[in-house]
């Protein structure tokens, strides 16, 4: 049975696992789906009277970010405006958007709509600043949200300092009221810390930097420095949206990039570049454009414009807020690389400053192996780990250089926590640096006496995973078994076999019956162990292992682990090793007779193509020039259009005037055409009724209505003169000139 749970405290930590099975199986159950973890968020927005209209607009854009950009459809968002309660009929809080799930596009659009209710308060509404009431409301929402497993975050957007001097419910004098509100704030922050709720303050305008720093509390989602809650003081209100992007990404343990803002002119466009790394499984590109009519186009790293809804090139897309001031494109399994965002303004649109940003996260799973699953007290054990995303095994890449792997061990008789760093340096036999496998060694304390727990952690910007510890026990005296389970790197085709070895040192004094079991496979990995039963003889022994792939096994890197378990007690593990398999269709061998037939077909096709091309060249009319005559008066030449054609089609216009002319035909016109006849240079002129006129180059041919057509052939000008009498006195006395088929 595979057990999966989400760590409340470590939402951004990838915690490494080897789940246990209670029964032997030839084909393992796949790992659970890898999804980003949902979050609950409350956004507190200052509505005090000191706010300008543009500042409110920036706050709305910041509050809209999660509606268009949050990855998980299971996340929930609440938006609360706040001022102060200075009279009995006032309220310090505006419940702009109650806690709303993001399960559908309609849910997200509802938040985008209700955010527009944020506004600067008047004195009659209570336009001072009550941070205590705002924080109290956020804690009440998150404390009672009913899900302790999800990360809980508060974003506090404010342009002022605490001011409740006129708020009667805090006391009977301005000084008492301020002090009481400050006490409430500290109590709320203490509770937030205890509950694991993060508070991220964003201040602008006259906000007090010291007070802002005091608001920042909560445990970071990983051990990276940028994930710890911190205050941001924004000097320019136009930077509020970018600051919100950075705060949201850090709080969620996501990665982010904000492109430099640009002013999009009337009738013009601007382009932004944003990078998504290979480890990202979910991404959102957000655009704060203020004008809902601005058109946004998203272009992937291959230069292809992606759809705003549906699937394309292995990714899934969904746009939100397309007709609002903030638009976002959610991308599941985004193509890594540099994306472009093009923003276009209509001719009558006012120039606006536009900001584009991307947030991304890697929802990953990791497997762990120990070189000694039941290690000896006082001995060293090597821990190995590697990552898997929805896209498969993550191997070495420049984007993974910032990953920091480590493992913590606790257990019976272990004082405190034993920590070890893992690296991708290729430690151990047959290991290669840069293969995406991280390894490190730690020593089991001599006093270890029973159960051990290994918790692997990966710290990286933009990475989140599951908490599933790996549990084992120390070896008992006289039960020492050392194994190496090795499935070396190999590429195999569906339907074929992969091979490896199990090497054993059994010092228990008796043979052991064990079973090889595959775990941690993808859903489409249909792989079985051939002869999974293994007898571990006393002393040194080696057993060949064969894995067979079904014909419908999924292609790509296989993330599985091959585990050697005790046949009688499957919870007891003797050894394990990663599969290093790539499933791919090999190039098919071509028999010599097929190669010969292919060559013959190529020669035949080349010959026929040459004949066809030669026929087309012979029939080409682009060297022809037509001359229109009205009586004896030449009306001017008309050259055939450039390009290979076998018919020169035209019309004669205004024949009953003094200025007839030749022209290209329109639909419904009565047309003439000139074609080359046969293999020679002969020409045929056809009239609208199907009549045919033999044409001699340069000699006018009457076609009715007092007009005549002469055809000049540029091909004859390049042809050497024929010998006298070669074709008789008339060079057009050639049989082919008047063939039954003039297009031969």
Q: Which tens digit of pLDDT belongs to each residue from 105-160? A: 999 999 999 999 999 999 999 999 999 999 999 999 999 877 667 889 999 999 87
Rounded CA-CA distance 31/523 in Å is 7
Tell me the C-alpha to C-alpha distance, in Å, between residue 191 and each of 136, 143, 186, 197, 434: 10, 10, 9, 8, 45
Of residues 448 and 30, which shows the higher confidence score?
448
Does residue 24 have a pLDDT over 50? no
Does residue 14 have a pLDDT over 60? no
Rounded CA-CA distance 472/573 in Å is 8
* CA distance from start to end of the chain: 76
Rounded CA-CA distance 83/81 in Å is 7
Q: Say if residues 360 and 31 touch (Cβ distance below 8 Å).
A: no
Does residue 225 have a pLDDT over 70? no
User: 579-603: string of b/e by CB count within 10 Å (b at 16+)?
Assistant: bbbbbeeeeeeeeeeeeeeeeeeee
Tell me the C-alpha to C-alpha distance, in Å, between residue 569 and each of 69, 513, 564: 48, 10, 11
Give pLDDT, residue 454. 86
Does residue 427 have a pLDDT over 80? no
Q: Could you tell me the pLDDT band of residue 635, with boundaries at 50, 70 and 90? A: confident
Give pLDDT, residue 715. 76
- The correct answer on CATH 3.40.50.170 for the domain covering 14-32+371-583 is no
Q: Which tens digit of pLDDT belongs to each residue from 700-740? A: 888 888 889 998 888 776 555 444 443 333 333 333 333 33
Neighbour tally for 694: CB within 10 Å: 14
Rounded CA-CA distance 181/128 in Å is 13
Could you say which of 3.30.450, 2.60.200, 3.30.1370, 2.60.120 is the CATH number of the domain covering 620-738?
2.60.200
List CB contacts of 175: < 8 A, sequence separation 6 or more: none
Dihedral sign (CA 58, 62, 63, 68): positive
Does residue 681 have a pLDDT over 50? yes
Give pLDDT, residue 549. 86
Give pLDDT, residue 247. 94
Which own/partner contact pairs does 685-691 have at CB distance under 8 Å and 24+ positions apart? 685/709, 685/711
Q: Where are the domains of the chain?
A: 14-32+371-583, 34-252, 620-738
Could you say which of 2.60.40.10, 3.40.50.2020, 2.60.40.1080, 3.40.50.410 is the CATH number of the domain covering 34-252?
3.40.50.410
Rounded CA-CA distance 330/282 in Å is 8
Q: Say if residues 78 and 97 touch (Cβ distance below 8 Å).
A: yes
> Sheet holding 648-653: strands in order across?
661-663, 648-653, 672-677, 682-686, 692-695
Does residue 573 have a pLDDT over 80? yes
- Comparing CA positions, the residue from 453, 452, 418, 456 lying closest to residue 438 is 456
Mean pLDDT of the region 210-231: 85
Rounded CA-CA distance 578/557 in Å is 12
- In total, the chain counts a number of residues equal to 744
Q: Which tens digit of pLDDT belongs to each residue from 37-62? A: 899 999 999 998 877 788 888 899 99
Q: Which tens digit of pLDDT belongs to each residue from 152-200? A: 999 999 987 899 999 988 999 999 999 999 999 999 999 999 999 999 9
Tell me the C-alpha to C-alpha distance, in Å, between residue 529 and each of 37, 517, 544: 34, 7, 11
């Amino acid at each position: 049975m595979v057990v999966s749970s989400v760590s409340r405290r470590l939402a951004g930590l990838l915690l490494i696992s080897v789940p246990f099975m209670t029964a032997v199986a030839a084909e393992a159950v796949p790992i659970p789906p890898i999804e980003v973890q949902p979050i609950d968020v409350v956004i507190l927005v200052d509505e005090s009277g000191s706010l300008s209209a543009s500042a409110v607009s920036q706050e709305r854009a910041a509050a809209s970010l999660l509606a268009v950009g949050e990855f998980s459809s299971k996340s929930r968002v609440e938006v609360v405006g706040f001022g102060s309660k200075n009279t009995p009929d006032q309220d310090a809080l505006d419940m702009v958007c109650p806690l709303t799930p993001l399960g559908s596009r309609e849910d997200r659009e509802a938040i985008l709509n209700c955010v527009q209710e944020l506004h600067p308060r008047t004195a009659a509404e209570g336009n001072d600043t009550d941070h205590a009431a705002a924080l109290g409301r956020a804690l009440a929402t998150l404390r009672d949200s009913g899900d302790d497993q999800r990360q809980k975050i508060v974003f506090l957007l404010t342009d002022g300092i605490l001011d409740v001097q006129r708020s009667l419910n805090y006391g009977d004098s301005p000084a008492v009221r301020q002090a009481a509100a400050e006490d409430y704030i500290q109590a709320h922050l203490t509770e937030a810390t205890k509950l694991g709720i993060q508070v991220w303050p964003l201040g602008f305008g006259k906000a007090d930097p010291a007070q802002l720093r005091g608001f920042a509390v909560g445990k970071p989602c990983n051990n990276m420095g940028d994930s710890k809650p911190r205050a941001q003081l924004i000097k320019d209100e136009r930077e509020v949206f970018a600051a919100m992007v950075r705060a949201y990404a850090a709080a969620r343990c996501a990665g982010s990039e904000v492109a430099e803002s640009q002013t999009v002119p009337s009738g013009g466009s601007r382009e932004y570049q944003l990078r998504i790394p290979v480890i990202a499984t979910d991404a959102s590109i957000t655009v704060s454009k203020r004008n809902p009519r601005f058109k946004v186009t998203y272009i992937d790293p291959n230069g292809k414009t992606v759809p705003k809804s549906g699937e394309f090139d292995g990714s899934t897309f969904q746009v939100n807020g397309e007709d609002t001031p903030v638009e976002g494109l959610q991308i599941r399994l985004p193509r890594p690389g540099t994306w472009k965002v093009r923003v276009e303004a209509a001719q009558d649109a006012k120039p606006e400053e536009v900001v584009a940003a991307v947030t991304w996260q890697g929802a990953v799973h990791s497997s762990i192996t120990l070189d000694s699953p039941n290690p000896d007290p006082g001995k060293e054990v090597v821990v190995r780990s590697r990552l898997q995303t929805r896209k498969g095994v993550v191997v070495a890449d420049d984007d993974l250089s910032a990953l920091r792997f480590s493992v913590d061990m606790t257990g019976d008789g272990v004082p405190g926590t034993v920590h070890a760093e893992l690296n991708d340096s290729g430690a151990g036999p047959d290991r290669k640096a840069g293969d995406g496998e991280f390894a490190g060694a730690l020593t089991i304390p001599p006093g270890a006496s029973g159960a051990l727990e290994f918790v692997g952690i990966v710290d990286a910007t933009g990475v989140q995973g599951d908490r599933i510890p790996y549990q084992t026990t120390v070896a008992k005296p006289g039960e020492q078994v050392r194994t190496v389970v090795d499935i070396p790197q190999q590429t195999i085709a569906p339907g074929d076999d992969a091979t490896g070895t199990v090497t054993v040192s059994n010092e228990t004094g008796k043979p052991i019956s064990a079973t090889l079991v595959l775990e941690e496979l993808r859903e489409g990995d249909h792989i079985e162990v051939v002869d999974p039963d293994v007898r571990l003889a006393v002393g040194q022994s080696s057993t060949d292992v064969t894995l067979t792939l079904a014909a419908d096994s999924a292609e790509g890197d296989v993330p599985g682990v091959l585990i050697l378990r005790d046949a009688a007690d499957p919870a007891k593990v003797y050894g394990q090793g990663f599969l290093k398999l790539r499933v791919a269709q090999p190039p098919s061998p071509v028999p010599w007779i097929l190669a010969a037939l292919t060559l013959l077909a190529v020669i035949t096709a080349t010959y026929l193509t040459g004949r066809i091309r030669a026929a087309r060249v012979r029939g080409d009319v682009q060297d022809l020039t037509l001359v229109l005559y009205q009586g004896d008066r030449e009306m001017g030449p008309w050259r055939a259009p450039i390009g290979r054609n076998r018919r020169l089609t035209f019309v004669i216009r205004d024949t009953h005037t003094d200025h007839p002319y030749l022209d290209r035909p329109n639909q419904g016109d009565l047309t003439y055409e000139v074609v080359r006849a046969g293999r020679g240079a002969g020409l045929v002129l056809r009239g609208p009724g199907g009549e045919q006129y033999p044409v001699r180059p340069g000699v006018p041919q009457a076609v009715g209505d007092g007009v005549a057509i002469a055809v000049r052939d540029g091909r004859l000008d390049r042809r050497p003169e024929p010998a006298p009498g070669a074709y008789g006195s008339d060079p057009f006395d050639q049989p082919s000139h008047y063939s039954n088929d003039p297009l031969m």
